[in-house]
Amino acid sequence: MRKSVACGFILLLIAANVVFSAQEENPLLIKVKPAKLTPLKKEALAWVDAASPELSKLNDEIWRAAEVAMEEYRSAEALASYLEEMGFAVERGVAGLPTAFVGVYGSGQPVIGFLAEYDALPSLSQEAVTSKKPVKEGAPGHGCGHNIFGVASTAAAVAVKDVMARHGIPGTLKVFGCPAEETVEGKAFMARAGLFDGLSCCIQWHPSSENSVSLESSNALNQFELEFSGRTAHSAGDPWHGRSALDAVELTDIGLNFLREHLKPTARIHYVIQDGGKAPNVVPDYARAWYYVRDVDRESVEKDYERVLKIIDGAAKMTETTYKIHFKSGVHETLANRAGSEVVYANLLLIGAPAFTEEEQSFAKEIQKDIGVEEKGLSTKIEPFSHPEKSWGSGSTDVAEVSWLTPTTSLGVAFTPTGTPGHHWAAVACGGMSIGHKCLATAAKVMAASCLDFLSQPEIIQRMREEWTARKKGREYQSPLPADLKPRVVPKKEEPS
Ligand SMILES: [Zn+2]
């Protein structure tokens, strides 16, 4: 089976890069001036600088733990206990997810959210060196930089809290510890549980190969596992007694591949066969496959999905087998927010891209040489801010659910060498050393400064909310998850002694 589920957000950032860099005279360009450096922002930035050694240590701890989706016990606890130390009230195990938490500081309006992710990817174990070298063969690794993601969001909130406490600024900060982004699960369950209700707006980001703020959307998605049960028999001796579950999977897939022609070009269907039987001379009485159905918006996914279900039913009839569908998760398309993202972009211009040293650039170039891509090092420029050219054909993310519940901003900060693939050992290597630490500090500063703008200028949040209401076009959030679907809980493993 394929090694991992594509993390949608990094794909979006890569797609945005292609669009922007191809057009110097971009008619879609949005002109934004750098934000002002206010005294309050100076304090927040100074806090991040002073806390940097501690934040880098926290980053490295989560990088080393490298826990995959729903198993992020140590990573979630590291962030939750740090928030507690810093004066946040933390509730753990929210929405039935043992590795999700919410940390709250302050009271009253506005209520500003920060999203923190921390899940790793399977089989990407890697030391912080310039060629492929797993710490432990086959173990997980932070190939999407979610170690930096979680710590930077947490740090931004704590930096703002520090300023709010000192100056008696009213408002509430909520840090959401969001597990299982890579499997597009965590925030879908958190959204269904109402955790994101009542937010004035939400700030989020993603580690990237570039420094940018994107207004791209993402694909809506349904994902499910399909199990067929049949009857076994000797494949040569008495196959007429057999009813092959594998045949049912294959006929489903053939049906889906014919269906593609009659779906809109925006639809994307992919699958892996996880269990297709054990031996050719035994008719498989059990088979299992995993499917993704994506499209440009929720409504389209639901229409596509209905047709997929008919094909599955048809395959069962043809093979005289029975089937069960295990719905895993579903998400919406992301609602971008220009009003909020403009403020984040202005603060990115103010803070500037991470200043990487010559050693760090050499480290990145060594990796590029090893992979065979152009040795351009790490990006130190800020990409232009523009309207997206398109909003389909990319990955999916559970951040989309949050964007339907409150205006949500975006940000990408560079930590992977330009031109290297996403979900790759190169990202793991860079995320566990000083390159990752610099990305972390920049992201935390940009988000903290943006949050201070949101707190001090209520008219920004008002504009964000007006835009958000317009983008929803009268549609209210409805969870794509069936009401009786419980989160996939993975019990905590014993600590290695
Ligand atoms: Zn990611």
According to DSSP, the residues that pair with 223 across neighbouring strands are 292, 329
For 186-207, give one letter per residue: b (16+ CB within 10 A) or e. bbbbbbbbebbeebbbbbbbbb
Considering the chain, what percentage of its residues have pLDDT values greater than 70? 94
pLDDT band at 389 (very low <50, low <70, confident <90, very high): confident
Whether the predicted pLDDT of 428 surpasses 70: yes
Residue 393's pLDDT is what? 56
pLDDT (0 to 100) of residue 391: 60
| Residue 173: both structure tokens together | 């900060």
Tell me the pLDDT band of 390, cut-offs 50, 70 and 90: confident
- Please tell me the distance between residue 144's alpha carbon and the centre of ligand 1 in angstroms: 5
Q: Residue 244 C-alpha to ligand 1 middle, in angstroms? A: 38
Q: Is the pLDDT score of 149 beyond 50?
A: yes
Give dist(CA 497, CA 63) in Å, integer.
Answer: 19
pLDDT band at 496; cut points 50, 70, 90: low
- Check residue 392 and give its pLDDT: 61
14 pLDDT band (50/70/90 cuts)? very low
CB 138 within 8 A of CB 124: no
Q: What is the pLDDT of residue 36?
A: 97
Q: How far is the CA of 397 from the centre of ligand 1 (A)?
A: 8
pLDDT of residue 20: 47
Looking up tokens 């719905």, which residue turns up? 327
pLDDT mean over 96-110: 98
**What is residue 125's DSSP assignment?**
-
Q: Is the pLDDT of residue 1 over 70?
A: no
CA of 66 to the centre of ligand 1 (A): 13
pLDDT band at 27 (very low <50, low <70, confident <90, very high): confident
Between strands 412-414 and 286-295, the pairing is unpaired
Average pLDDT over residues 383-402: 87
pLDDT of 7 higher than 90: no
What distance in Å separates the CA atoms of residue 320 and residue 151, rounded to the nearest whole number?
52
pLDDT value for 318:
98
Lowest mean pLDDT among 17-21, 129-133, 150-154, 450-454: 17-21
Q: How far is the CA of 77 from the centre of ligand 1 (A)?
A: 20
At 29, give phi and psi (nearest 5°). -60, 140
Res. 19: pLDDT tops 50: no
The C-alpha atoms of residue 192 and residue 214 are separated, in whole angstroms, by: 26
Alpha carbon 32 to chain centroid, angstroms: 26
75: CA distance to ligand 1 center in Å?
15
Structure confidence by residue, pLDDT tens digits, 282-339: 999 999 999 999 999 999 999 999 999 999 999 999 999 999 999 999 999 999 999 9
Find the 277 Cα to ligand 1 centroid distance in Å.
Answer: 33
Q: How far is the CA of 145 from the centre of ligand 1 (A)?
A: 7
Average confidence score pLDDT of the chain? 94
Does residue 494 sit in helix, strand or coil? coil
Region 185-198: mean pLDDT is 98
User: Edge to edge, what strands does the sheet with 322-331 contain?
Assistant: 268-275, 286-295, 220-229, 322-331
Task: State the distance from the centre of ligand 1 to the C-alpha of 143, rounded, in angstroms.
Answer: 8
User: Residue 18: is its pLDDT beyond 70?
Assistant: no
Instruction: Give me ligand 1 centre to Cα 147, in Å.
Output: 10
Other residues' Cβ atoms within 10 Å of the Cβ of residue 478: 10
Three-state secondary-structure class, residue 53: helix
DSSP 218-282: --EEEEEEEEEE-B--BTTT-GGG-B-HHHHHHHHHHHHHHHGGGS-TT-EEEEEEEE--S-TTB
DSSP 375-442: ---S--SBPPPB--S---SS---THHHHHHHS-B---EEE-SPTTPPSSSHHHHHHHTSHHHHHHHHH
Q: Alpha carbon of 497 to those of 70, 135, 492, 493, 494: distances in Å? A: 22, 18, 15, 12, 9
Compute the distance between CA of residue 193 and CA of residue 395 in angstroms, rounded to an integer.
24
Does pLDDT of 4 surpass 80?
no
Q: Is the pLDDT of residue 416 over 60?
A: yes
Q: Is 290 left (phi over 0), alpha (psi -120 to 50) or beta?
A: beta
- Residues within 5 Å of ion ligand 1 by Cβ? 7, 144
Segment 113-130 shows an average pLDDT of 98
More confident residue, 280 or 25: 280
Ligand 1 center to residue 398 CA distance, Å?
Answer: 10
Contact between 179 and 100 under an 8 Å Cβ cutoff? The reply is: yes
Distance from Cα 206 to the centre of ligand 1, integer Å? 7
Does residue 252 contact residue 289 with C-beta atoms inside 8 Å?
yes
pLDDT in the model for residue 57 = 98
Give the per-residue pLDDT at 322: 98
Q: Contact, 467 vs 339, CB < 8 A?
A: yes
